[in-house]
Chain A
Amino acid sequence: MDTHNDIKRRLLREVMQDNLATYTAAPPLPPAVHTGWAVVGKMLLVAMAVVLLPVDNMSTVISTVIEPQSEIPIATVIEAPRETPQPALVTAPPPKALSQADESAPEQRVAALGPPHVEAPPLAYQEPFPASEEVGNAKPTFLAPTLIDLAVLPLEVRKIVIDPGHGGKDIGTSTPGGLAEKEVTLDIGIRLRHLLEQAAFEVVMTRDKDETVPLRQRTALANTQGADLFVSIHLNWIDGGQIRGIETYYLGPTEDPMLLQLAAQENRDSGYALADFRKLLDYIYLSVRRDESRRLAESVQRTLVTALRRQYPALANRGVKTAPFAVLVGTEMPAVLAEVTCLSHPEEARLLATPQYRQDIAQALWQGIRAYAQALNRFPKISQERRLTHE
Chain B
Amino acid sequence: MSDTNGVLHVGIDLGTSHSAISASNGARHVVDSYIGWPMDMVARKVLKKSVLIGREALENRTMLDLRRPLERGLIKEGSGKDAAAVHELLRHLLTLVGVRPDDPERPQVRAVVGVPAEALRVSKQHLRQAMKGTADRLMIVSEPFTVAYGLEALLHTLVIDIGAGTTDFCVMNGHYPTDEDQRTLELAGDAVDFRLAALLRECHPEAQFSIHMVREWKEQWSFVGAPTARAMVTMPVAGKPTRLDITNEIRTACESLVPPVSETMLELVARVEPEYQEKVRHNITLAGGGSQIFGLGAALEQALVEVGGGRVQMVSDVVFAGADGGLALALDAVDTDWEQLVM
The number of chain B residues touching the other chain, given as a range, is: 20 to 34
Q: Is A119 an interface residue (CB 8 A)?
A: no
Query: Least Cβ distance of A366 to chain B in Å?
Result: 19
Q: Are A14 and B340 in contact (CB under 8 A)?
A: no
Interface residues of B in 164-190 (CB under 8 A from A): 174-176, 179-180, 186
Interface residues of A in 7-39 (CB under 8 A from B): 7-8, 10-12, 14-20, 22-23, 25
Q: Is B106 an interface residue (CB 8 A)?
A: no
Which of A8, A11, A171, A210 has the most chain B CB atoms closer than 10 A to its own CB? A11
Q: Is A56 an interface residue (CB 8 A)?
A: no
Q: Are A8 and B179 in contact (CB under 8 A)?
A: no
CB nearest to B138 among chain A residues: A19
Q: Is B207 an interface residue (CB 8 A)?
A: no
Q: Is B337 an interface residue (CB 8 A)?
A: yes
Q: Which of A4, A12, A18, A183 contacts B333 (CB 8 A)?
A: A12
Cβ–Cβ < 8 Å partners of A326 in chain B? none
Cβ–Cβ < 8 Å partners of B53 in chain A? none
Q: Are A180 and B122 in contact (CB under 8 A)?
A: yes
Q: Is A168 an interface residue (CB 8 A)?
A: yes
The number of chain A residues touching the other chain, given as a range, is: 20 to 34
Q: Which of A7, A15, A180 contacts B139 (CB 8 A)?
A: A15
Contact with B along A168-201 (1 / 0, CB 8 A): 1101001001111001000000000000000000
Cβ–Cβ < 8 Å partners of B186 in chain A? 209
Q: Is B121 an interface residue (CB 8 A)?
A: yes
Q: Are B332 and A8 in contact (CB under 8 A)?
A: yes
Contact with A along B113-145 (1 / 0, CB 8 A): 000001011101100100000000001110000
Q: Are B155 and A7 in contact (CB under 8 A)?
A: yes
Q: Are B340 and A20 in contact (CB under 8 A)?
A: yes
Q: A178-B121, A183-B122 are in contact. Are A8 and B154 (CB under 8 A)?
A: yes
Q: Are B179 and A168 in contact (CB under 8 A)?
A: yes
Which of A7, A17, A19, A180 has the most chain B CB atoms closer than 10 A to its own CB? A19
Q: Is B78 an interface residue (CB 8 A)?
A: yes
Q: Is A103 an interface residue (CB 8 A)?
A: no
Q: Is A2 an interface residue (CB 8 A)?
A: yes
Cβ–Cβ < 8 Å partners of B337 in chain A? 12, 16
User: How many Å lie between the Cα of A177 and that of B124 in the bound state?
Assistant: 12
7 additional contacts, CB 8 Å, given A10-B174, A11-B174, A12-B333? A7-B154, A12-B332, A12-B334, A15-B329, A177-B125, A178-B122, A179-B122
